[in-house]
Amino acid sequence: MTTIDSLATNLSTYLEGEQVNLVRRAYYYAEQAHDGQFRRSGDAYVTHPLAVAGILSEMHMDPQSLVAAMLHDVIEDTGISKAAVKSQFGDAIAEMVDGVSKLNKITFSSHAEMQAENFQKMALAMAKDIRVILVKLADRLHNMRTLDVLSPEKRRRVARETLDIYAPIANRLGMNSIRIEFEELGFDALYPMRARRINAAVKSIRGNRKEIVKQIQTALEACLLREGMPGRIFGREKHLYSIYEKMRSKRKSFSEIMDVYAFRIVVDKVDTCYRVLGAVHNLYKPVPGRFKDYIAIPKANGYQSLHTTLFGMHGVPIEIQIRTEEMEAMANNGIAAHWLYKSHDNSPSNAHVRARQWVNGLLEMQQNAGNSMEFIENVKIDLFPDEIYVFTPKGTIMELPAGSTAVDFAYAVHTDVGNSCVACRISRRLAPLSEPLESGQTVEIITAPGTQPNPAWLSFVVSGKARSNIRHFLKNQRHSESVALGRRLLNKVLGSYGTQLEKIPPVQIKAALLQTNSAELDNVLEDIGLGNRMAHVVARLMVPGQAESEAASEFGRESKQTSLAIRGSEGMVMSFAKCCHPIPGDPIIGHISSGRGMVIHTESCNNIAEIRDNPEKCVSVRWDPNVEGEFAVEIRVELENERGIIAKLATTITGAEANIEKISTVERDARFSIVNLSLNVRNRIHLARVMKRIRLIKPVSKVSRVKSRKMAKPARA
């Protein structure tokens, strides 16, 4: 067990005496603060922060991180405040300790929501100081090492969270050693029986493999010696969780995975890496398409290495990784290597710069997310370990998650590029925005001013940045559209009182806001637009001097004159009923649907027959003379069966400048069929022209518009 003296001895190998004393002081402060507290194992609580500091000392972390590790549970579990820590140890340490501390003063509806809020808080602290995540990873690692004392249910929950969040974060920061330990401990806690069986299978196969491993290693060592290139060669053991994941995801048997022999060659410099690659390719034939150069193009977490697969003796596949000593250290310690192998000029390492970029990306996602659950969902997407590498037209390399599309690429370039993206060229050919990209392709984004993200993009984007930005834009757009519609509905009712919103004194508006418990007028207007608040109720609060009876008679008399004009471009808070498919030229009525805004029906629609005269649920509306856009309509065509009749029907409709959305055929008997069509037309005149053209087709006996279909549920508020 680590003691403060043994820790101080280790620290003195790379820290100055004064810095070691600061860590000692933090230990005694924590010991006093946690006095009388014990862990589930029965040990004094201070053994936990001491062990966390010990893990960080192995990474040669700086004294501030070690002090924060000693104090990381002080704010959360004792009566000591952040201000007290700040006065004793300074701002930076107090902020780090607070960043690692959980939110324990707030009650949450579920454990998942609490975890999401805690992670969101930690992400904000990471943006200020990246060392927060290193303290948190060390804290989690010690908790995973001492998981046995917890109940089976809690053990599984902690293990699942570690595998879902903390292992991918360690991977994202290039900290391979910690990631592997997280995965091994998590796998053992979550699936103990599977872990035992795979472990037993690995042990039994190890003896049979020993001879082949030795032969391959001897051949590789002789090859390097012959070429005069010094290097360390050692066999790589596959760890249990990676074997399990490959068996599960790639649907391979245990023997298929263990059939591959893996070796790592560590050399002195980059130039030697490529020379060794040539030598091993001479020794054994390489497998085509299996060579990856992560030295020229490092992974997103800063990992660098040459990967190749060879056909060894007797056709045995051999996986080889070739890297320098520095790359080996970076692969195991990642961002922590920034402190462990700090250069004298104090310039941040490659991994540190990439980690900082990732944290800044997290911050942007956090600002765009609606809540902590949405944020953590986006983060999980962003923690995918597999990347693809594509190029901009100018040759800049962009790293994206595997399966990314041109929309993900556009948002990776810049949020504004993503928002105004309309088309793309992949390796100089026009391609759909939803086409998955592959490594090595050149992607060019075509933008247009005034365009906006399409909600359909959410079904194929894979990066957290793209998803959070699209959602954020659509949320803001819905808000502004709801406010605009709410303003129009309120002004329509206020018109019957002989006034307008702009003419009402601010004092009266303020009084109305107080009565509705709203902070801003926009909130009330948004509620009206979404159908969550009645416009005439708000209008009465704003003009309280009017007599109710006078207002009611005025409303009845003037509502026809002040009917709302529908332009067709209102956006997401105005929709057209799918039961009656109103189009410009039809007499229409607006139904205020709670949470959805306004739904436009035809006046004769059966689904609103019961509520048509209720002024709280229905609003008088009319088509604007300059209405624009295309509107869905359904028609029914009865015709004689004839070869090629559907093609003739489609040609006639497109010739009349209408689009076919959907087509279905019902055979009435062997001779006659009914064709149901869903079309997009501009107005009633356009529809009449389309129907006239269809009637001219010889086999057609009848064409009619489907006026109103009974929906499963009546359209009530």
Q: Known catalytic residues?
A: 76-77
CB 443 within 8 A of CB 426: yes
**Edge to edge, what strands does the sheet with 672-681 contain?**
659-667, 672-681, 631-640, 700-705
> Tokens for 4?
């403060």
Q: Which residues lie across from 589 on neighbouring strands?
A: 601, 620
Secondary structure letter of residue 44 according to DSSP: B
Q: Max CA-CA distance within the chain?
A: 105
Secondary structure letter of residue 237 according to DSSP: P
Helix (H) or strand (E) holding 514: helix 506-515
Smallest CA-to-CA distance from 683 within 561, 586, 577 is with 586
Helix (H) or strand (E) holding 85: helix 82-89
Q: What is the C-alpha separation between 608 and 715, in angstroms, rounded?
A: 6
CB 368 within 8 A of CB 472: yes
Q: Read out DSSP for 121-182? A: HHHHHHHH-THHHHHHHHHHHHHHHTGGGS-HHHHHHHHHHIIIIIHHHHHHTT-HHHHHHH
In sequence order, the 6+-apart residues with CB closer than 8 A to the CB of 628 are: 567, 568, 569
Written as one letter, the residue type at 249 is: S
Write a three-state SS string for 325-378: HHHHHHHHHHHHHHHHCCCCCCCCCHHHHHHHHHHHHHHHHHHHCCCHHHHHHH
Burial of 501 (0-12, 13-18, 19+ CB in 10 A): middle
CB 382 within 8 A of CB 464: yes
Q: Read out DSSP for 521-574? A: HHHHHHHHHTTSS-HHHHHHHH-TTS-HHHHHHHHHHHTTTTPEEE-S---TTE
Smallest CA-to-CA distance from 609 within 576, 580, 636 is with 580
Q: What is the C-alpha separation between 45 and 41, in angstroms, rounded?
A: 10
Is the Cα torsion angle 413, 415, 417, 421 positive or negative in sign? positive
Task: Count CA atoms within 13 Å of residue 591 on its CB side.
Answer: 25
CA angle 129–134–138, rounded 5-degree value: 150
Is the Cα torsion angle 676, 680, 684, 689 positive or negative in sign? negative
> Tokens for 652?
């006639």
Q: What is the C-alpha separation between 576 and 590, in angstroms, rounded?
A: 9
Burial 553-568 (b: 16+ CB within 10 A, else e): ebbeebbeeebbebeb
Strands, DSSP E only, in 612-714? 618-623, 631-640, 659-667, 672-681, 700-705
Smallest CA-to-CA distance from 387 within 327, 298, 290, 262 is with 298
> Tokens for 553?
């008679």
> Tokens for 344?
């004298």
Q: Give the rounded distance of the alpha carbon of 522 from its chain centre.
A: 29
CB 238 within 8 A of CB 187: no
Q: How far is CA 532 from CA 529, 578, 595, in A?
A: 8, 22, 6
CA angle 196–198–202, rounded 5-degree value: 115
